[in-house]
Structure formats: structure tokens, C-alpha cells
Structure 1
Amino acid sequence: MNNRYEQLDSLRGLAALFVVFHHLFLSFSSNHFLVTFLKLSPARLLVQGHAAVIIFFLLSGFVLALPILRGNPINYMHYIIKRFCRIYIPYAVAISATILISIYISDGQLQQYTDFINQSWQEPFSFSLMWEHLVLIGNPHTVVYNPVIWTLIHELRISILFPFIVLLVKKLNTIYVLILCAALSLIAGLAGILSTITVNGYHTSLFDSLHYISIFMIGALVAKNKTVLSTLYQRFTKMQKISFLIMAVLLYSYSDVLSKDFFHIIPFRFYVSEYGLALGSVLLIIMALASRKISGLLNLPLLKFLGKISYSLYLTHMLVILSLLHLLHDRISMPLLLTLSGLVSILTAIICWYFVELPSMKLGKYLTKSRKNSVPSLEVRQEA
């Protein structure tokens, strides 16, 4: 029996593609006509990179929670080995390639490009920088080589605890889980105000991980209540479903804009905006699960393949963009160069999927299979 929700893989793939669009978008000057168009038009959906990250976290919570919610015992040691192979090994290959390539082809400041592009590949190589990037869950300077890696820090940190967190989600009433989520974000917000600890990366403190645990937990809640939520959606009238879609798109596209540009008096408005993004993303996930039309669209072979390569695309696209910009910035026009960067990013992701990511997952399965009788196990079980 195939218990995999392939339409959610496709949704993850689209989110990864939107992150690529977002970073290409950030390469343009703020007064460029394309930037203005994407900021003000419904096409804003396509360049909402941070909202796409929230989808990643929600889907990770959803997928990791399913086996435990179904009552399957989880061998904790096997779980950790598989997560390490799934996340860290492709990351280690990608960041090593990034460091090596940046040493040889960095062309200093690229005057025609934005601060977003010029924040990376400017620092001279040092073993301390390399080491902090290899020890990922510490306090690395995440923008020095590849600014996307801040999310992987949270993925790894939270993955270590998540089987036990799912048991809590399983046991508690939904309203208590949501209260706990709000409390974790409140602690993170207060700590951000009161803490004097230097954070080298973008939202990579341990307190930030507390907040993002709440997003993972919401993903687990969706998994726990997926049947009820799907049934509720399917009972909607056509007009209600259209309203549901409009609300999902508006929350996903504009929650951060409202908190940043309009609602300055709201305390902890960054976290409020992230919950707005999370709510919009949850609505999209519900539609992916419950709507035959949307599910059918997401199950198209091209989108399913995009879902397969989504992690490789996320990992390597900034390597491609920065490499091409540093090599060709004075040779071809910016629009053509950024278009080429997007296409080469997809090709690179396909190569990385086949030769790095897929073998890493197979290694995780092999290690957990071959060590079954020799590795001490800590089983994470549900109460009967």
C-alpha cells in the first residue's frame, strides 16, 4: 500500500521553485519595473520565498508525523540515521562545492547587482568558516556562502526532537497544541528582545528553533486531522471553495506585507506574520489533499518530478546563480543571465538528485537495514 501523498511532494516542488524565483527577483534593483509588477500584482505569489519556507516546515511536520500518528513504532536510531542521510549528506556535498567554487571564481562586488547578491562570496576563505558550515546546527554565518542554509539548521535541530513532539501532539487536544505553539513563539519573541547572544545567521538562534517547532507542530496537527479537514472542505459549496482559495492565496502572499508595512503597532509582528503565512499554507495543503481538481493538477508527472528534485533545487540554486553572476556579469545582460541561472539551476538539481540525493537516501535505508540487529534502538511508540 502506498501511503505517500504525492501531491504534497509536488507542492513542495512548487515551493522550491518559488524560492528560486524569489532569489532571482531579489537580484533586480528595487526600482526595476519587474520588481514593482511582482510586488503589486497577484504574481507576487510566485516570489514569496519566505512563505515557501513555511510550507517546507509544515510539510516536514506533516510527513514526519504520519508514521507515529498511524501507530507505527519508530526505531529512533534508524530515524536519526535516515534523517542525517536525507538532509545532511546532500547539504555537505553542496556546501563543499559552494566553498570550493567561490574560492576560485568570486569576482568581488558586483556593482550592478543588489545587496542580496553581494552579501555572499565576499569573505576570504578560512577553516573556521568552513568548519562552522560543516557543523551545521551551530551558529554559522549563513549568508557567507549560501543564504538558504538557515532553514536546514532548523530542520536538523527539530528533527532530533520531533518524534517525541509528535507524541505530544497526538495526546493533546488541538486547542492545547495551538496554545503551546503560541507559547513557544512568545518565548522566542521575548528571548529575541532580551537575549544578548550574537546570532551569525538569519533567524538561526535556538530561540528561533523554538518558534519553528510550532510550525512543525501545526504540520503534525494537519496530519492528525487530515480526514476531518478534507471532509469539511469537500462539503463546501462551489462559492465557499472559491472563497477558501482566495483566502489561502491572500494569506500566503500578503501576511508579511501587512505586518511589515501597515501593522507596526502589533507586538511580535514577525511571528504574527509567520502564523498568517502558516495559515495560508495550511489552507493550500488542505486543498491539495481534498480537492480532486487541485490534487489531479499536482499529480501531473512534471510536477511530481519537480517534487522529487525539490531539495536538490533548494540546495544548489544559489550556487548556480552566484557562479553564473560572478562568471558572466560583464558579458551578457542581466535578464538573460538570470533566466539562464534559473534554467541551469533546474538542470543542476536533476544531476544532484540522481548522483547525490538519491544515493544518500539509499545509504540511509541500507544502514538501517544492515544494522537492524546490531544497533541499540529506542522505540518511540504511541500509547495503546
Structure 2
Amino acid sequence: MTLHNNHITVLNGLRGFAALYVLIHHARLLLAQPYKYGLAIVPEKFSFIDKFLVYTFGLFKFGHEAVIIFFVLSGFVIHLKQAQVDFKYSKFSLNKFFKKRIIRLWPTLITAMLLCVLFDAICFLYLKESDVFQKYNRINFVQNILLIPNSADWGNNYPLWSLKHEWVFYLLYPCLLFLKTKQKLIPIIILSTTYLLYLLGIKIPILQNVAYTVLIWYLGVILADLYIKHNKRLKNVYPYFFVPILSYPLLDRNNIDTFPILDLVFGIFTMGLICCLLYNRFNKLNLFFNKFKLIGLYSYSLYLLHWPIQEFLQRIILKFSIHQTLPYHQWYTILGTVVSFSIAYLIYLVTEKPSLKFLKSYK
């Protein structure tokens, strides 16, 4: 069993929606006063339309959850080919697997790193920020170009943390796949153990919080296996994936110690959402996500580039603001969204699109 074109389209749409959601989530944080420092204390400074926009953009506060969608989707798509019933590990090409990942990731990654330096250079020359280059050094460069997890961000590109986690998932996947061919429960037991150790406060050197996020990513692998090998059973039981989300309102999203539980709960919810889309249980839901399919094509560029762009805009706004503070209105949030879209798309055309085109012809 393989995915039909309409399945690929709707999953691309889900990826595009998640990328757009993260972009707007960060734009509202970087380019406007947050609710608790704005509308909550000085409502008289807000017009009706400003209040409307504050509440509208307030719907985009779950940016971290959108990243979990990326993780589960990634595990699902990566494993689909290896989930086939006739798959043998001897057919798995380690060389080909990593070449594809490198070709897919690095052109846009290098561009994003250069963009951070460019923006800092502009701020140094024209905004008179004298200390912008102090954060750059050889160690930081090597750690980021090699996507070492939990290393300091390159420049101001905070979302790089998730790409570093993603790369570790890829590094672990061949080993997990090998163990899975011996006994399918072994990877689940290992990853559940690392998850519980992290939850108990026992940190594993080097891995750190990747020790629990890798289990979230592996949920996608589990889903791919169920979809390919136990399709009829999955079709009947997948609604139960939505049950854990009922506990979500009871969990504290502001407490970093609850993140492993939050992410696992939302990861299971994402499994259910993907099933809904694959089985087309709610036609309107599929139609909704299909609207984001074009964004899904360059979601990687959009995700990796939007923060440096918006953070650069923030620095300009603060420099020329009378009181060096962010505005109460949300118009810069809209501007930042449009500018991020435009620049990310242009960079997609010269980096990500050629990479994807090459991968399609790569044997």
C-alpha cells in the first residue's frame, strides 16, 4: 500500500498549515506587545479593529504544538517506504538515505545562516549595534552546521532547535529500523525508557531533551506501520487517539517540566488527525488543509527563515520607535507575515526547489 496523490496533497497541506501557524505565532510575539502588557492593562489605547486583531492573533498561541505536527509527520513520511510488508533491511541504503537528507536540508540551512549574518551586518552598519558579532565563533558555526542538539543558536535563529532534533532523529533511524526488523517492540521499549528517564529528571548526556522528542517523532513511524500493515484495524481504532487530548486543559503549558507529557499527548492527537485526513472522514477538514498545499511545498524554507526576518524587523521597529518599545497594534504582525512569506519564497526558488527537483531524479 502507498499513499495516493490526494493523500500526499492533504499531508502537504497539513505541513503548510503548521508552517504558517508557527510563522504567525512568532510574528505576534516579535512584532507587537503581548496581551498581558497591552490590551490587558491599557485597553483604552486599542481601537475596535486593534482589539479584534489581538483576539484573532491570540488563536495562534500554540506554536510549539505545530512543531509537534512536523515531528510526527516527518516520522510517518520517512518510514512509509520501509513500512511495506516486503521490506528487508538489506534493501535499505544508508548512503542513499543520508545523501537525500543532506541534499534536502543543507542548502536552505546554509542560506539561513548567511541571512543571520547579513541582517546582523546591516544592524552593525546602519543601526549602530556594535556587539552583534560577539555571538559568532568557530565552535558555534561547527555546532550549527552539524546540527548538534542543544547547542547555542546561530545568530538569532531560535527555531533551529527543532531542525537539530530532526537531524538526530535521522541519525538514530537506521539503528532503530535495524532493531525493529529483529523485534518490532525493541525501539519502542528503548525510546519509552529514554522518555521516562527524561521525565524523571535523569538527563542523558548529549541527547538532553532529544531523549524525549525522539519518541514523539517515532509516533509517526508507528503510525506508518499501522497504516500499511494493519489498515483496516487502524481505521476502526484511530478515534481513540483523540482521547488523551481531553487531559490537555489540565496540563500547565507554562511549565517546561510538563512539556514531555504535553508533547506526547499532542503527538498522539496528531496521529489521529493524520488518520482523519488519510481516511477522509471529514471532507471539509481535507478541503481546509488542501488550501495550504502550496505553502507546504516551501514549508521548510518558511520555517527556517521566518524568525531571522521577523527578528530583523523587530530591531528596526525598536530603533525608530519613540520609546524603543513594540507597538500595541498588530499591523506590524501582518507586515512581518507578508515579508517573511515573500523572502522565504524567493529563497525557496533558489535553494529548496532545486534540491527537491534533484531528489526526484536521484536514484
**TM-score (normalised: structure 1):** 0.73
Is the Cα contact below 8 Å between 1:132 and 1:139 reproduced in 2? Answer: no
- Does 2:342 correspond to 1:336? no
For residue 185 of structure 1, the aligned residue among 191, 195, 209 is 195
Equivalences for residues 32-181 of structure 1 within 5 A: 32-33=38-39, 46-70=60-84, 71-72=86-87, 73-105=91-123, 107=127, 123-137=134-148, 140-142=151-153, 144-169=155-180, 172=183, 178-181=188-191
Residues 220-270 of structure 1 show CA distances to partners (whole Å, capped at 9, x for unaligned) of 11111126886567669xxx97x987x68766xx46x71346xx8xx9633
Is the Cα contact below 8 Å between 1:45 and 1:249 reproduced in 2? Answer: no
Q: 1:96: how far off?
A: 1.5
Larger RCO of the pair (alpha carbons < 8 Å, separation 6+): 2
Q: For residues 132 and 56 of structure 2, what CA distance do their matches in structure 1 show? A: 33
Q: One-letter code of the match for 1:63?
A: V
In structure 1, the gaps of 5 or more residues are 110-119, 198-204, 370-384
Specify the alignment match of 2:264 in structure 1. 275
- Does 2:354 correspond to 1:359? yes
Q: 1:141: how far off?
A: 0.9
Q: 1:189: how far off?
A: 3.7
Cα 1:295–1:94 change in 2 (3 A) is: same
Cα 1:336–1:358 change in 2 (3 A) is: same
Q: For residues 108 and 22 of structure 1, what CA distance do their matches in structure 2 show? A: 29
Number of residue pairs the alignment of both structures matches: 334
Equivalences for residues 219-258 of structure 1 within 5 A: 219-226=220-227, 231=232, 254=248, 258=251
Q: One-letter code of the match for 2:82?
A: I
**TM-score (normalised: structure 2):** 0.77
Is the Cα contact below 8 Å between 2:83 and 2:225 reproduced in 1? Answer: yes
- Does 2:28 correspond to 1:18? no
Q: For residues 33 and 67 of structure 1, what CA distance do their matches in structure 2 show? A: 50
In structure 2, the gaps of 5 or more residues are 44-50
Q: For residues 235 and 360 of structure 2, what CA distance do their matches in structure 1 show? A: 37
Residues 298-355 of structure 1 show CA distances to partners (whole Å, capped at 9, x for unaligned) of 563x411011111111011112101222224426955222211101111122212211
Q: One-letter code of the match for 2:277?
A: A
Q: For residues 66 and 297 of structure 1, what CA distance do their matches in structure 2 show? A: 24
Q: 1:81: how far off?
A: 0.6
Q: 1:163: how far off?
A: 3.0
Q: 1:56: how far off?
A: 0.8
Q: Secondary structure at the match of 2:266?
A: helix
Q: Secondary structure at the match of 1:326?
A: helix
Is the Cα contact below 8 Å between 1:154 and 1:212 reproduced in 2? Answer: yes
Q: One-letter code of the match for 2:193?
A: A
Residues 179-221 of structure 1 show CA distances to partners (whole Å, capped at 9, x for unaligned) of 443212123345x5467x7xxxxxxx51322322211211111
Q: For residues 346 and 179 of structure 2, what CA distance do their matches in structure 1 show? A: 39
Identity, in percent, stands at: 25
RMSD between superposed Cα atoms in Å:
3.9
Specify the alignment match of 1:376 in structure 2. none
Q: For residues 249 and 341 of structure 1, what CA distance do their matches in structure 2 show? A: 32
Q: 1:17: how far off?
A: 1.0
Q: For residues 303 and 69 of structure 1, what CA distance do their matches in structure 2 show? A: 27
Greater alpha carbon shift after TM alignment, 125-134 vs 7-16: 125-134
Q: For residues 77 and 230 of structure 1, what CA distance do their matches in structure 2 show? A: 31
Q: One-letter code of the match for 1:337?
A: Y
Q: One-letter code of the match for 1:160?
A: L
Is the Cα contact below 8 Å between 1:248 and 1:284 reproduced in 2? Answer: no
Q: 1:125: how far off?
A: 4.1
Specify the alignment match of 2:286 in structure 1. 296
Q: For residues 76 and 105 of structure 1, what CA distance do their matches in structure 2 show? A: 43
Is the Cα contact below 8 Å between 1:169 and 1:221 reproduced in 2? Answer: no
- Does 2:347 correspond to 1:347? no
